[in-house]
Amino acid sequence: MIEPSQCVINTATLGFQAPLPEVIDAVARTGFGWITPWRREVEGHDVAALARRVRDAGLRVNGYCRSTYIPSDDPAQFRANVEANRTALRDAAALGADHFVMVVGSHRDLEMARAQVIEATGLLLAEAKTLGVKIALEPLHPVYAAERSCLTLMSEALRWCNAAEGQTAEPKLGVCIDAYHVWWDPELSSSIASIGAEHRIFAFHVCDWLVPTQDVLNDRGMMGDGVIDLKSLWAAVQKAGFHGSVETEIFSAQNWWKRPMDETLRVVAQRLKTSL
Amino acid sequence: MIEPSQCVINTATLGFQAPLPEVIDAVARTGFGWITPWRREVEGHDVAALARRVRDAGLRVNGYCRSTYIPSDDPAQFRANVEANRTALRDAAALGADHFVMVVGSHRDLEMARAQVIEATGLLLAEAKTLGVKIALEPLHPVYAAERSCLTLMSEALRWCNAAEGQTAEPKLGVCIDAYHVWWDPELSSSIASIGAEHRIFAFHVCDWLVPTQDVLNDRGMMGDGVIDLKSLWAAVQKAGFHGSVETEIFSAQNWWKRPMDETLRVVAQRLKTSL
C-alpha cells in the first residue's frame, strides 16, 4: 500500500496542458508529495521562483527531465550538447532536485554514440558533484535505439556507472529504472540484485505496457492496464536498497493527456495503491 | 560481394501475393539459390509436390517459418501447441528444409512463458533429431516481448541451446540471427563471438531498421535504407563460423509488398551486393 504523499508525479503524465505553477498546485491538491518537472516547463522562467512555488505547495522536487541528446558527428555540436546539459544541471540544483535524468541520445554508429555518452557523462558528473545534484542514467527500451538512446540494457548502465565512479557508498551517478523500458529484460533481476549496497538506483518510474500498443512513444498505459508485473519489480527495487519514491510517468497522447489533470492524478493515486 | 545464388529469399519478403509455386518460380528466375517458405503457403497443400517444385526450379529450402506460439495458461493448449509444432517439423523434413524457425510466443508471466518454451523446445528437439531437421530459435526485438516472444536476447537464446543440448560439434538446436531484432544489443558482438566452434548459427536474416519506423511489425526496410550496420554484423557472423546463406526477410506492408515480386527481388539482389 503506497500513499500518494510518498510518491512522485512526473509532469509528463499530465501532458503539459498547463503552466508549471498550475501543475504544481494540482499535484499538491491531490496529495502527492513530490514532483519531477521537465525543462520545457522551467527554461525561460524564473527558476528560483518556481523552486519557491514547489516548496510553498508543500512539494519536493525528485528528478529534473531530461538531458539534451549527446552524440553528434560534429565535435562542436557534441560540446554544445554537453554545455546544454551543464546548464540544465544548474537548473536542477536551483530547483533542489535530487537528480537530473539523462536520456542519452543515439547515432547510427552505436559504438561512437556510446563512447561519446560515456565521455560526456564523465564531464557532467564532475559538474554535478560540485552542484550537489545526482545524475540518473535512464536506459530506454530498445525500440528507441535508433533515435533516442544508445543505452538500452540496465546491465550496461550499471557498468557505465561503475566505470565512471568506482565503488562508493554515496554515488552521484546512478540509474533511473523505468518499468516501461526494462520490464522485458531477462537479465533485469540479476542486474538489479547486483547493485546491492551501492544504492545506485536514483529513480523508479512506473506506467504500463498496453496490449496492443498503438504507438510506442505516446501510448503508454496507466498502472494496472497492461502486462508489466509492477509488484515484483517494485519488490526487487526495494530489496536492492532503494528508499526513494515511486514516480509515475505516463506518455499517453490519446487517453490520459486528454483528461483533466485532477482526474488523471486521482486515478494514479488509486492505481499506485493496487498495482504495486 | 554476395551473389544471389548464395542467398535465400524468405517468402514473407514478397507479401504472400501469389501461391507458393509462383513464388518459387519468381525466386528462381531472379537467380536466387534458396527459399524459406511459410506454413501458410504449405499447409493444406501437397508437401511432397511442393518439395519437388522447389527442386525442379533449381532451388533449395533453407528454413521453414515458423512455430506455433508455445506458452499458455491451459495445459491442454500448451500440449496442442507442441503437437502443432511437431507436425510442422515433419513438413519441414518433407520439404528438405535445413531448419525450422521458432518464434516462441509470450505471456504476461514471462518466467512461466520462458519455462514452457524451454520444456517445449526439449520435446521438439528430440523429434527434430529423428527427422534430421535442425531447430533455430529466433530471439525477437523486445518491442514484441508482450505478444510474440519472451525470448529477446541472443545471449539467452544461446544459454537455452547450451542447456538443452550441451557442447556438441554438430548441434541440432541453434539460433536464427535476424538483424532487425538484435542490431541494438550492446552484448550482441560478445554473444556471437562466444559461439565459436559449436556452429550454433543456423540462419542469418537481413532487412533494415527505418528511421522513422511507422509500424514496428510491417514497416521494415530494404537493406541499405535504414541504420543497421549490416557489414559489421555479417562479418561477425562469418567470423563465428557461419557458412550458410544470407536470408532476406522484409515485412513491408506499405512498400515492398505492394510491388511486383520481380521488382522486389531485383532490388534485394542489388542491395545484398552493396550492403553486406
Interface of A with B in 29-68 (CB under 8 A): none
- Nearest 5 degrees, angle CA A140-CA A144-CA A149? 55
- Name the residue of chain A whose CA is nearest to B215's CA: A215
From chain B, the residues in CB contact with A184 under 8 A are 110, 142, 145-146, 152
Q: Is B184 on the interface with A (CB under 8 A)?
A: yes
The three cell numbers of residue A211 are 496490449
Please answer whether residues B218 and B182 qualify as being in contact, where contact means their C-beta atoms are separated by less than 8 angstroms: no
Nearest to B112 by CA among B82, B74, B139: B74
Please answer whether residues B88 and B51 qualify as being in contact, where contact means their C-beta atoms are separated by less than 8 angstroms: no
Radius of gyration of chain A (CA): 17
pLDDT exceeds cutoff 70 at B197: no
DSSP category for residue A240 = T
Task: Give the dihedral of Cα atoms B113, A142, B184, A234; nearest 10 deg.
Answer: -60
Q: Taking residues A67-81, what's their average pLDDT? A: 98
Confidence (pLDDT) at A166: 86
Q: How many CB pairs below 8 Å do chains A and B form together?
A: 67
At A189, the amino acid letter reads S
pLDDT tens-place string over residues A10-46: 999 999 999 999 999 999 999 999 999 999 999 999 9
Q: Between B143, B185, B186, which is nearest A143 by CB?
A: B143
Q: Between B109, B141, B186, which is nearest A153 by CB?
A: B186
Please answer whether residues B268 and B248 qualify as being in contact, where contact means their C-beta atoms are separated by less than 8 angstroms: yes
C-alpha A159/C-alpha A155 separation (Å) is: 6
Confidence (pLDDT) at B1: 72
Mean pLDDT of chain A: 97
* Sheet of strand A8-10: strand arrangement: A60-61, A34-36, A8-10, A246-248, A201-206, A173-178, A134-137, A99-102, A63-65
C-alpha A181/C-alpha A179 separation (Å) is: 5
C-alpha A26/C-alpha A41 separation (Å) is: 15
Q: Taking residues B219-240, what's their average pLDDT? A: 97
Q: Is B145 on the interface with A (CB under 8 A)?
A: yes
Confidence (pLDDT) at A60: 98
Assign B52 to helix, strand or coil. helix
Q: Between B145, B152, B211, which is nearest A147 by CB?
A: B211
Provide the shortest C-alpha distance from residue B102 to chain A (in Å). Answer: 18
The three cell numbers of residue B192 are 556471437
- Name the residue of chain B whose CA is nearest to A149's CA: B184
The three cell numbers of residue A20 are 508549471
At B74, the amino acid letter reads D
Query: E strand or H helix at A134, and its extent?
Result: strand A134-137
Confidence (pLDDT) at B167: 82
Q: What is the largest CA-CA distance in chain A?
A: 50
The verdict on a CB contact (< 8 Å) between A142 and B146 is no
Express as a percent the part of chain A with pLDDT over 90: 95
Tabulate helix, strand, coil % of chain A (nearest 5): 45, 15, 40
ipTM summary value: 0.96
Q: Is B181 on the interface with A (CB under 8 A)?
A: no
Q: What are phi and psi of B19, to 5 degrees?
A: -60, 155
Q: Taking residues A88-92, what's their average pLDDT? A: 98
Selected for mutation to probe chain A from B69, B112, B117, B184 (highest A CB count within 10 Å) is B184
Residue A158: alpha-carbon gap to chain centroid = 15
pLDDT tens-place string over residues A170-229: 999 999 999 999 999 999 999 999 997 678 999 999 999 999 999 999 999 999 999 999
Q: Between B109, B152, B183, which is nearest A184 by CB?
A: B152
Q: Is A146 on the interface with B (CB under 8 A)?
A: yes
The three cell numbers of residue B51 are 518439395
DSSP category for residue A61 = E
pLDDT exceeds cutoff 90 at A235: yes
Confidence (pLDDT) at A197: 67
Confidence (pLDDT) at B85: 98
Confidence (pLDDT) at A1: 72
Confidence (pLDDT) at A167: 82
- Nearest 5 degrees, angle CA A16-CA A34-CA A99? 90
Confidence (pLDDT) at B215: 94
Size of chain B, expressed as the number of residues it contains: 276
Q: What are phi and psi of A226, to 5 degrees?
A: -130, -150
C-alpha B147/C-alpha B149 separation (Å) is: 6
Dihedral of alpha carbons A182, A97, A54, A33, sign? positive
Assign B276 to helix, strand or coil. coil
Selected for mutation to probe chain B from A143, A183, A184 (highest B CB count within 10 Å) is A184
The verdict on a CB contact (< 8 Å) between A185 and B142 is yes
Q: Is B146 on the interface with A (CB under 8 A)?
A: yes
Q: Is A184 on the interface with B (CB under 8 A)?
A: yes
Q: Taking residues A114-121, what's their average pLDDT? A: 98
Worst-scoring range by mean pLDDT, A178-192, B96-110, B159-173, B225-239? B159-173
